[in-house]
């Protein structure tokens, strides 16, 4: 489905969407029109999901990341749906995964400080019954990127056939 040229374009757009189509074309070795058409197709195909602004966490008072590991004893469908909906609703929760292994769920929570995390924690356990919660604070964010690895796109022939 995607070829090397698409990958080049996606690599640029994953880093910066402010650049003009003509500019991107120059970088990847394509003139404006075909470059523009490829971007359109990538959007229609849903490969490009959305274009967003990334903010500097410390400048919006959201510089502290906490990872919350959750273990539950409840496994009814009803509880599950309620739990998911409740957690998703918190804007402090920026990532939320159902995990394999020992821990059932993993949350990445973003707050201004420890006090705010405590407030979040109380809100969370107030709304839902959880068996075990364990919070770990990030001391430093060494890397954070929204850019997905693109070296796998072309590698796997099986994948191309599937999609």
Query: What radius of gyration do the chain's Cα atoms show?
Result: 21
State the sign of the Cα–Cα–Cα–Cα dihedral 84, 85, 87, 92.
Answer: positive
Which residues ranging from 22 to 81 are in contact with DNA (CB under 7 A)?
Answer: 22, 29-38, 40
Partner in contact with 126, chosen from its own copies, DNA, none, beta carbon below 5 to 8 Å by kind? none
Q: Binding pattern to its own copies, positions 18-57, x when CB under 8 A?
A: x--------------------------xxxxxxxxxxxxx
- Measured from the CB atom, the residue of 107 and 153 that comes closer to DNA is 153
C-alpha 90: how far from its chain's center? 15
Nearer to its own copies, 32 or 90 (CB): 90
Q: Is residue 130 close enough to count as binding its own copies by CB under 8 A? A: no
> Taking the complex as a whole, how short is the minimal distance between the CB of residue 32 and its own copies, in angstroms?
18
Q: Min. distance of Cβ 136 from its own copies in angstroms? A: 5
CB 70 within 8 A of CB 107: yes
Within 10 A of 63 (CB to CB), how many other CB atoms are there?
A: 15
Record the tokens describing residue 161, joined without a space: 């056939």
Nearest to 100 by CA among 134, 138, 132, 71: 71
Sites of contact with DNA (CB under 7 A): 5, 19-22, 29-38, 40
């Amino acid at each position: 489905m995607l070829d090397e040229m698409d990958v080049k374009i996606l690599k640029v757009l994953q880093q910066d969407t402010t650049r003009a189509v003509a500019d991107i074309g120059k970088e990847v070795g394509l003139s404006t029109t075909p470059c523009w058409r490829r971007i359109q197709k990538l959007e229609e195909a849903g490969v490009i999901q959305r274009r967003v602004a990334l903010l500097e966490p410390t400048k919006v008072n959201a510089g502290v990341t906490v990872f919350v590991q959750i273990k539950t004893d409840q496994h009814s469908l009803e509880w599950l749906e309620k739990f998911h909906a409740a957690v998703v609703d918190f804007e402090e929760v920026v990532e939320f995964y159902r995990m394999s292994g020992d821990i059932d769920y993993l949350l990445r929570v973003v707050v201004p400080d420890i006090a705010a995390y405590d407030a979040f924690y109380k809100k969370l356990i107030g709304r839902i019954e959880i068996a075990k919660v364990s919070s770990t604070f990030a001391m430093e964010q060494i890397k954070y990127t929204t850019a997905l690895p693109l070296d796998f796109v072309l590698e796997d022939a099986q994948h191309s056939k599937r999609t």
